[in-house]
A and B are shown apart, each in its own frame.
Chain A
Amino acid sequence: MPRTQVQTRLNGADIDFLCEPRQSLLEVLRDELGLTGTKEGCNNGNCGACTVIMNGRIANACCVLAVEAEGAEVTTIEGVARGDQLHPLQQTFLEEAALQCGICTPGFILAAKALLDKEPNPDEHRIRYWLAGNLCRCTGYDKIVKAVQKASAEMQEAKV
C-alpha cells in the first residue's frame, strides 16, 4: 500500500512521517515514531489507554487515522513533562500511589491534564465523569481521583 507523508506538530515540535492510509495514529506513534508511551488496550475506543490530546481535545488515538494528524497539534505522554520537570499530575500520581501496573497511567494523565487545563477546579463528580472514558483495573480509581484533586489544588496555588 503506498504511503502518505503527514506533517504535524507533535509534543511541540514540527515533524513529518510516512504512513499507510489504513494506519491509526496509535499505530504510527508506537511503531513508526517509536513513542511507545501511548498504549493499546482495546483498539476500538473503549478503554482510553491510547488517550492523546489533539487540537486541545482528548482523543483515543486508536480511533484517529494517522493521516488526520495532518496540520494538527498532538500531545502524547512523552510531551507532558518539561525535561526532568514533571507535570504536577505526574508528581501527584506518584505521591498518591495512583498507579499499580501503570499501563493506564499515560492515558489518565493526558485526560486529567486536558480537564485541568480547561477547568482548574473540578469537583469529585466532575473528575469521575471526565475520566469515565479511561479504564483502570488495578486501582479502583480512588487514588487516581485523589491525585487529580491534589494536582488541581497545587496548580491553583502555584498561580496565586
Chain B
Amino acid sequence: MTTIDRTGYKVIGTRPVRPDGVEKVTGKAQYGADIRLPGLIHGRILRSPHAHARILSIDTSEAETIPGVMGVLTAKELPAADDAIQDLGEGAVNLRELSDNVLALEKVLYRGHAVAAVAATSPHIAEEALKKIRVEYEPLPAVLDVRDAMRDDAPLLKEDRYTKSMGAEKTDRPSNIASHNQFHAGDLEKAFAEADAVVEREFTTKMVHQGYIEPQTSTASWNADGTITIWTSTQGAFVVRAQVAEVLRRPVSSIRVIPMEIGGGFGGKIPIYLDPIAALLSKKSGRPVKITMSRTEVFEATGPTSGTYIKMKMAAKDGVITAAEATMAYEAGAYPGSAVGAGSMTMLAPYNIENFKIDAYDVVVNKPKTSAYRAPGAPAAAFACESVIDELAKKVNADPLEFRLKSSSREGTRMVNGIAFPRIGHEECVEAALNHPHYRAPIEGPNRGRGVASGYWFNGGMQSSVVAAVNPDGTVNLIEGSTDIGGTRASLAMQLAETLGIPYEDIRPSVVDTDSIGHNDVTGGSRTTFASGMAAYESGMDIRRQMAARAAKLWNCTEDEVVYENGTLRCTKDSTKELTFKELAAQQPRTGGPIAGKASLVARGAGGAFATHIVDVEVDVDTGKVTVLRYTAVQDVGTAIHPAYVEGQMQGGVVQGIGWALNEEYYYLEDGRLANSSFLDYRMPTSLDVPNIDTVIVEVPNPGHPYGVRGVGEVPIVPPLAAMANAIAEATGHRFTDLPISPRRIVETLHGLEE
C-alpha cells in the first residue's frame, strides 16, 4: 500500500465543519441518557460500602413491595460465566470476572462494587427502594496500595490466584500479583559498571479517572421475542453486544446495540457495567429500563487507570543512553488486567538502548477494576523514564533535547519486544522542538522552569466495515459503525471524498447499529481515522472500479482504457468520452442498478506515533500553585486529515496530562473509601488552569496507509506528566517523583513539612 503524494490532496488537510456539528451546538444530538421511550422506567444500583467483604445474604423482599418498584435483581440471576479469558476490543478480560464486576456474587472487592439493582417508575422511587434492600456483609481486611498488595502477608482478593508468567503459573502460593512479564537484552551489569553517569529513582502515581463529562448510561428493552435492544453511549457497539451476549448467555444475533452519541470515553466506555442489569430488569418488568450512573458511581465503580510504582535506573556513556533497568508494578484494581504490558513496551520506545531489563507486575488491589485510559500504561511509564533521562542529561551536561536526539529510535530500531520500527518520526519531533521559538525563548524569573519529554504510542488497526451507497444526485451515504467521539464522521468523509474526487459536502456519514453494518472494533486505540478511514478508502476504490466498468460498457472500450481522475471518468482512446461522478451517478438505474462500495477489513500497517513536548511553569513556593506559562506539543501525525481535530486531540491529551501531573488522584481513606468522588475534589483542569496549547504537526507519512495516517489521539497524554515534573524540577530545584505534584505536596516538601 503506497502513500499518495501529500501535496496533491484536495480535501485532506482542509478544515470543514463536521457533519454532526449543528446538532451538537443546538442541543439536538441524542446522547445515551437522552433516549425517551414509551413506558420507560428507571434503574438504580446498590453498591458495597466495604472495600473487601464476603456477601453473606441479600434480602430484597421489602424493596419488592414498594409501590412503583417493578423489578429487583441480584447476581444470583446472572448466568454463571466460564472461567475463560476472552479478548475484548482493548485488552483481555476474564468473562466470569466481567460478570462478577457487573453484579458481585460471593465477595465485594471494592467500595462501590454493585450488589443489587432495582427498576421503578421513577428514579427517586428506585433510590428509595435501594435503601430497603438488606445486605449482610462479613468485612475483610482490604489492601489499597500496589506495593502492600505484593507482600507475602497481604490480604488476598482471590484465595486461589497464582501469579501467571507467560502461560505458566509461577508461584506455589497464592498472590495478588496476577502476572509477571519481563523484557531483557544485553549485559546490564557491564553497561552500568562502564557508564559515565547512572541515575536511579523510584516513582509513584495515583489512580486517576478518565474524567469524561457524560456518566455511563444504558437503556435496554427485553422484547417479547427474546431479543434485546440496547441504547447506550459506548466506544464500541459491537463490543457491547459481544460482552452482553457472553454475560447473559444469549446469542449475539439476539442483541441489537444502538450507539447513541457519546460524551467522552478515553477508554473508559469500552467495558460494560449497566447493560446486562438493564436488560434483565427489562425482562422482569416488561418495560424498557434506563440506568444512568451518578458522578459518584462513575468515580467509584467504573474503570479508572492504575496507580503505579516504578523503579528506574538508567546509564549513559559518551552522550548516549546505554542501559535501562525498570521494575514496574501497576494496580489492576479488583480483577487482573492492568496496562502494565503496554507501559513496559512503550517506556523505552523513543530510544535505541542496547542493554535493558524490565520486570512488569500486574497486581490486584481493593479498588475498581482498571480500564484503558488514553495510551493506557504509557503515561506513568514515560513519567519515570523521561524524568530519569532528564537527570541523566544534566549529569552529562547535555541539552535535554539533544541528549534524547542522540539516542533516538529510528526505522529499524528494535523495541524491547523485538519488533523493528517501520518508518517513524521521533527524530523529526525532537528536531522540531529544538528549533521551535518556544525552546529558543529564554525563560527568566524566579521559580520558573522549563521541561521537555518525549513519548510513544503504538496505535491500533483491528477491524472496520463500511458501506458507501451512491445516491442519484451524486452524493454518497457512508454507512459506518465507528462511534464518533471526536470528529471521525468528518475524517472518514474526508478520506472518502478524497478517494472519489468529489466535494466533502457530498458525503453523508452515518453511524449505525450492530444490525446494520459489519463488525467494527472500538473507537479507541487511535484507530478510527486510520482503520475505518482505510475501509472508507477501499469502499471508494470499489465504487471507482464499478463506475469504470459501467463507463467501459457505455463507451464500448475496455476497463483498462477507462481512467478515473479527480471525480471524472475518461476513455483514454477517445478524449470525447468523459463522465463526471455526478453524471454517472444519475445514470445508475440505466447502467446496471445501484452502486455501493463496501469494505470490511482488518487494518494492517498502523503507524506508531511519537510526541515531544515543551512546557514552562512558574511555581508559587508559598502556596504550591503551579502556573503553566507556556506549552508546546510537537507530534508526528503521519498525515493530518483534518488539522483542527488533530490539534484538538493534541490539546485535549495535554490538558489531561497536566491534570494528572498536578492535581488529579484518587484519595483513599484507610477504610477504602474514596474521599474525593466528585468534580469538586477530584480536581480536573478548568479553562483558567491552562494557557493556549500550541501545537506543531509533524508529518512523517505512515507507509502503511493510503493517505499516510497515523493514530493521533493517545500519544499526546504520554509526555506531559514527565514534562511537568521536569519543568517543576527546574523551577524549584527539587525532583518530585510522586504524582500528583499538588500544591500540598510542593509546600510540604519545600518547607520540610512532610511526615
Contacts and interface: CB of A to CB of B under 8 A. Distances in A.
Interface of A: 1, 20, 22, 30, 34-44, 46-47, 49, 76-78, 80-81, 86, 90, 93-97, 99-106, 109, 127-129, 131-146
A93 B648 CA distance: 13
Contact of A99 (B21, B124, B262, B688): B21
B25 A99 contact: yes
9 contacts: A40-B33, A42-B678, A42-B679, A43-B295, A49-B213, A93-B25, A100-B652, A102-B24, A137-B652
B2 interface: no
A94 B25 contact: yes
Most chain A C-beta atoms within 10 Å of own C-beta, residue among B27, B124, B212, B264:
B27
A142 B15 contact: no
B486 interface: yes
A49 to B, nearest CB: 6
A158 B251 CA distance: 59
Given A100-B487, A142-B647, 8 more contacts: A42-B679, A47-B213, A49-B214, A94-B22, A101-B212, A105-B25, A137-B213, A141-B690
Given A47-B679, A101-B486, A141-B687, A81 B263 contact: no
Contacts of B214: 39, 41, 49, 101, 103
Given A100-B652, A137-B656, A143-B644, A132 B25 contact: no
Most chain A C-beta atoms within 10 Å of own C-beta, residue among B30, B263, B264:
B263
B contacts with A: majority SS: loop
Nearest to B299: A42
Interface in B630-660: 642, 644-645, 647-649, 651-656
A44 B678 contact: yes
A contacts with B: majority SS: loop
A141 B124 CA distance: 35
B604 interface: no
Contact of B212 (A105, A131, A137): A137
Contacts of B25: 86, 90, 93-94, 99, 102, 105-106, 109
Nearest to B484: A101
A95 B651 CA distance: 17
A133 to B, nearest CB: 8
Contacts of A145: 687, 692
A89 B211 CA distance: 25
A46 B690 CA distance: 18
Interface string B20-45: 11101111111101101000000000
A37 B26 CA distance: 7
Contacts of B265: 101
A80 B18 contact: no
A46 B215 CA distance: 14
A95 B645 CA distance: 11
Given A39-B214, A100-B486, A100-B487, A137 B684 contact: yes
Interface in B163-216: 210-215
Contacts of A41: 213-215, 263, 295, 679
Contact of A136 (B20, B210, B213, B680): B213
A100 B34 contact: no
B294 interface: yes
Nearest to A146: B692
A136 to B, nearest CB: 7
Contacts of B679: 41-42, 44, 46-47, 135
A76 B28 CA distance: 12
A99 B212 CA distance: 14
A140 B684 contact: no
B4 interface: no
